[in-house]
């Protein structure tokens, strides 16, 4: 069993590897028509580095979309969360499933990817100081992503795609849904191409001499994984789209799930690469931290690229068709080499923070550096909370639930939902928020609006998410299922009630949800306020 599943996947890899290789070659043979004009640059007063001014409008446009989608996702989070709490049970069933589909897509796909595109342009033009080489292509990418995401949002909100972001067949959405996702993905692919082309041009024009700065190196690792990820995406979204139009008869659910998670899991690795790049960059910007050992940090990024894309079967541990040996090999050997990479960063990032703070003279005892750290700098505090949330809440639980035997008692329960709110919300989203506090002043020369609100924003969002994520995992251990409208089973044939301690869990969750939603919306207000801010950074 499973043999033909594997051969189908290997067949799909051949063309993908070829396209990947060709796109790299193309990037290096791209001939720039004009050479950078010095008047297009200014020197940033924060970093003292060159910033490419025309890239600013692109970064701004992409940030706008990211923040708007974060707001949309936040509104949906409110509806979803307070429906799950049986005491409130806010939305009726169809609206709940629709809001949950929208929440997953708006957050995990749109907020994160829009932000990552802005971050890619930011690192290459404001940190490296290269000129954005293919501005027109970058705007085409923006247009495609905008078109695709609007189509998806409209299809979902009009009730034509109540199938969750995983869109597992045979659940079928309207064809426009797949169409929107594909167009969005093509746009994201163009954005990656722009990043690589800009980098190739920067090497040729001698803007980059020597190795890439570590932050940019991490971003590049992320972009490389993005390309691999997008090809996996095409391999299953395209046939699924044809299927939704009736041009294709049977979709094999196991192959779909296998390739979906090859795509879905490596997407998370993009987030991890870019999140860690943010930790390094924010550390340097806020306290002047330095990477400990460049060799170690860079090797860790290479481990991500090499191992994570292949290791995605921890999503399929209790699925039929794939043999336990295969699952153990895939999740064990490959996965844990990527875990090793995370463990390396788990030492390197906090240690670099500590060393930088000790250099400032906070050397008394073991913890003076922690006490005297700039906790009221929102970028710094958000980064630190993100490190704690990702490592302790998301990471450790992920490794635990990702073993075959423990997965049986956690698959599709709230243990999972709690785990990935640790990784992707307390970790990635908070790291991106922290980066925003520097990105807007550096790339757009605008001051952060509402500075006093900004000081407390990470302290609402971070602890809020950590609180509800941990509690969700706790009550998930009693079997609370994910994606479920009615855990009292009032309309079901048989009735069952969970351990009563679960209702206490929900109350704690509700506190966390409220903090996180207020923290998230404050961030949107601060971020959009800053984009509209007239006050310039001197």
Partner 1 sequence: MSLYTPEKHWWKPMDREEMIWVTIAFIWCQLITFIMPFSHAYGKHNPPAVTSKASTAEYGAKVDKFIAENKTGEEAGVAVVEVKPEVKEIYIVGRSYQWEPVLKLQQGKEYILHLSSGDYEHGMSIQPMNMNIMALPGYDYHLRITPDQAGEYFIICNEFCGAGHHMMTGKIYVS
Site for partner 1 in 164-193 (CB under 8 A): 164, 168, 170-171
- Residue 411 CB contacts under 8 Å (≥ 6 apart), including other chains: 317, 318, 401
**Per-residue contact flags (x/-) with ligand HEM for residues 423 to 442, judged by CB under 6 A:** -xx---x-------------
Count of residues that interact with partner 1, criterion CB under 8 A? 92
Residue pointed to by tokens 């928020």:
433
Quick one: 508 exposed, middle or buried, by C-beta within 10 A (0-12, 13-18, 19+)? middle
| Token reading at 362 | 């906070």
Cβ atoms 446, 440 nearer than 8 A: yes
**For ligand HEM, what does the binding mask look like between residues 484 and 503, x meaning CB under 6 A?**
x-------------------
Residue 273: which region, alpha, beta or left (left: phi > 0; alpha: psi -120 to 50)? alpha
| Phi, psi angle pair for 100, to nearest 5° | -70, -40
Distance CA 534, CA 538 (A): 12
Report the candidate in 37, 219, 16, 46 with the shortest Cα–Cα distance to residue 122: 219
Q: How far is CA 301 from CA 124, 164, 330, 393, 465, in A?
A: 18, 31, 19, 21, 27
| Structure-token pair, residue 266 | 């490596």
> Terminal CA-to-CA distance of the chain, rounded, Å?
66
Cα–Cα distance, 403 to 516 (Å, whole number): 30
How far apart are the C-alpha atoms of 515 and 385, rounded to whole Å? 15
Contact with ligand HEM (CB under 6 A): which of 393, 516, 524, 527?
516
Q: Minimum Å distance from CB 293 to partner 1?
A: 6
Q: List the structure tokens of 424.
A: 């992707």
Binding of residue 517 to ligand HEM (CB under 6 A): yes
Which does residue 289 touch among ligand HEM, partner 1, none (CB within 5 to 8 A, set by kind)?
partner 1
Which of ligand HEM, partner 1, none has residue 425 at its interface (CB below 5 to 8 Å by kind)? ligand HEM
The site partner of 2 among ligand HEM, partner 1, none (C-beta below 5 to 8 Å per kind) is partner 1
Query: At 492, which helix (H) or strand (E)?
Result: none
Q: Which stretch binds partner 1 (CB under 8 A): 22-30, 230-238, 477-485, 517-525?
A: 477-485
CA distance 76 to 56: 30
Q: Binding of partner 1 at residue 59 (CB under 8 A)?
A: no
Stretch that binds ligand HEM, among 257-265, 309-317, 347-355, 476-484 (CB under 6 A): 476-484
Give the nearest distance from C-beta 416 to ligand HEM in angstroms: 8
Going residue by residue from 189 to 228, which x/- string records binding to partner 1, judged by CB under 8 A?
Answer: -------------------xxxxxxxx-------------
Contact 475, 414 (CB under 8 A): yes
What's the CA gap between 131 and 201, in Å, rounded?
A: 9
Rounded distance, CA 458 to CA 375, Å?
10
Q: Check binding of 529 to partner 1 (CB under 8 A).
A: no
Is 498 one of the binding residues for partner 1 (CB under 8 A)? Answer: yes
Q: List binders of ligand HEM among 74-133 (CB under 6 A).
A: 74, 77, 80-81, 84, 100, 103-104, 107-108, 111-112
Q: Is 412 in the site for partner 1 (CB under 8 A)?
A: yes
**417 binds, options partner 1, ligand HEM, none, Cβ within 5 to 8 A by partner type:** ligand HEM
Q: Which of 135, 328, 528, 531 binds partner 1 (CB under 8 A)?
A: 328
**CB-wise, 63 or 424, nearer to ligand HEM?**
424
Nearest distance in Å: CB 337, ligand HEM: 25
Q: Are 287 and 360 in contact (CB under 8 A)?
A: yes
What span, in angstroms and rounded, lies between the C-alpha atoms of 492 and 479? 17
Q: Restricting to residues 158-197, which ones interact with ligand HEM according to CB under 6 A?
A: 164-165
- Which of ligand HEM, partner 1, none binds 403 (CB below 5-8 Å, type-dependent)? partner 1
Q: Indicate the residue among 116 and 354 with the shorter CB distance to partner 1.
A: 354
Cβ contact 446:530 at 8 Å: yes
Asked if 202 is part of the footprint of ligand HEM (rule: CB under 6 A), the reply reads no
**Which of 345, 421 has the CB closer to ligand HEM?**
421
Q: Which range touches partner 1 (CB under 8 A), out of 240-248, 324-332, 425-433, 460-468?
A: 324-332
The item of partner 1, ligand HEM, none sharing an interface with residue 411, based on CB under 5 to 8 Å by kind, is partner 1
Q: Which residue is nearest to ligand HEM (CB)?
A: 107
Please give the residues from 398 up to 417 whose contact with ligand HEM meets the rule CB under 6 A. Answer: 417
* Tokens 């309207």 found at: 174
With beta carbons less than 8 A apart as the criterion, state whether 396 and 426 touch: no
Alpha-carbon gap, residue 85 to 198, rounded angstroms: 48
Q: How far is the CB of 211 from partner 1 (least distance, A)?
A: 5
Q: Identify what 181 binds: partner 1, ligand HEM, none; CB under 5 to 8 Å per kind.
A: none
Query: Toward partner 1, which CB reaches closer, 174 or 336?
Result: 336
Rounded Cα distance, 416 and 42, in Å: 46
Site for partner 1 in 252-311 (CB under 8 A): 252-254, 257, 277, 280-281, 283-285, 288-296, 298
CB 242 within 8 A of CB 187: no
Interacting residues with ligand HEM (CB under 6 A): 73-74, 77, 80-81, 84, 100, 103-104, 107-108, 111-112, 164-165, 417, 421, 424-425, 429, 482-484, 513, 516-517, 520
């Amino acid at each position: 069993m499973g043999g033909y599943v594997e051969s189908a996947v290997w067949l799909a890899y051949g063309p993908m590897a070829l396209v990947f290789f060709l796109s790299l070659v193309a990037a290096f043979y791209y001939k720039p028509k004009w050479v950078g004009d010095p008047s297009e640059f200014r020197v940033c007063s924060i970093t003292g580095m060159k910033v490419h001014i025309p890239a600013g409008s692109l970064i701004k446009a992409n940030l706008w979309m990211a923040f708007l989608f974060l707001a949309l996702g936040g509104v949906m989070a409110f509806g979803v969360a307070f429906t799950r709490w049986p005491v409130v049970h806010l939305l009726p069933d169809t609206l709940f499933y629709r809001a949950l589909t929208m929440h997953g897509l708006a957050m995990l796909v749109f907020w994160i990817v829009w932000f990552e595109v802005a971050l890619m342009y930011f690192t290459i033009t404001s940190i490296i100081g290269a000129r954005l080489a293919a501005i027109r292509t970058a705007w085409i990418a923006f247009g495609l992503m905008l078109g695709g995401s609007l189509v998806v949002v409209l299809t979902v909100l009009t009730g034509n795609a109540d199938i969750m972001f995983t869109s597992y067949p045979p659940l079928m959405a309207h064809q426009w849904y797949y169409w929107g996702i594909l167009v969005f993905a093509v746009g994201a692919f163009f954005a990656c191409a722009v990043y690589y082309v800009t980098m190739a041009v920067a090497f040729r024009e001698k803007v980059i001499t020597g190795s890439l700065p570590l932050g940019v190196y991490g971003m590049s690792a992320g972009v490389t994984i993005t390309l691999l990820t997008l090809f996996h995406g095409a391999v299953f979204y395209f046939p699924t789209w044809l299927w939704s139009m009736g041009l294709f008869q049977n979709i094999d659910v196991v192959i779909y799930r296998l390739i979906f998670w090859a795509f879905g899991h490596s997407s998370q690795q993009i987030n991890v690469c870019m999140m860690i790049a943010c930790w390094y960059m924010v550390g340097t910007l806020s306290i002047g931290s330095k990477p400990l050992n460049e060799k170690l940090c860079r090797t860790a990024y290479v481990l991500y690229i090499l191992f994570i894309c292949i290791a995605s079967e921890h999503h399929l541990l209790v699925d039929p068709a794939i043999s336990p040996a295969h699952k153990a090999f895939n999740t064990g050997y490959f996965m844990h080499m990527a875990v090793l990479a995370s463990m390396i960063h788990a030492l390197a990032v906090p240690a670099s923070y500590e060393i930088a703070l000790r250099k400032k003279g906070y050397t008394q005892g073991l913890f003076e550096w922690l006490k005297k750290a700039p906790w009221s700098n929102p970028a710094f505090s958000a980064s630190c909370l993100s490190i704690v949330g990702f490592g302790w809440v998301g990471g450790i639980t992920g490794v635990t639930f990702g073993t075959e035997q423990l997965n049986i008692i956690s698959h599709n329960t709230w243990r999972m939902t709690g785990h990935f709110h640790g990784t992707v919300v307390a970790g990635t989203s908070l790291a991106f928020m922290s980066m925003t506090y520097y990105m807007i002043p550096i790339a757009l020369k605008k001051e952060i609006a509402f500075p006093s609100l900004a000081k407390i924003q990470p302290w609402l969002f971070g602890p809020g998410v950590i609180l509800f994520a941990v509690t969700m995992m706790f009550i998930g251990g009693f079997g609370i299922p994910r994606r479920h409208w009615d855990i009292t089973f009032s309309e079901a044939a048989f009735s069952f009630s969970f351990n009563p301690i679960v209702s206490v869990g929900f109350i704690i969750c509700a506190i966390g949800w409220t903090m996180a939603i207020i923290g998230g919306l404050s961030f949107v207000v601060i971020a959009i306020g800053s984009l509209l801010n007239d006050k310039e950074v001197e």
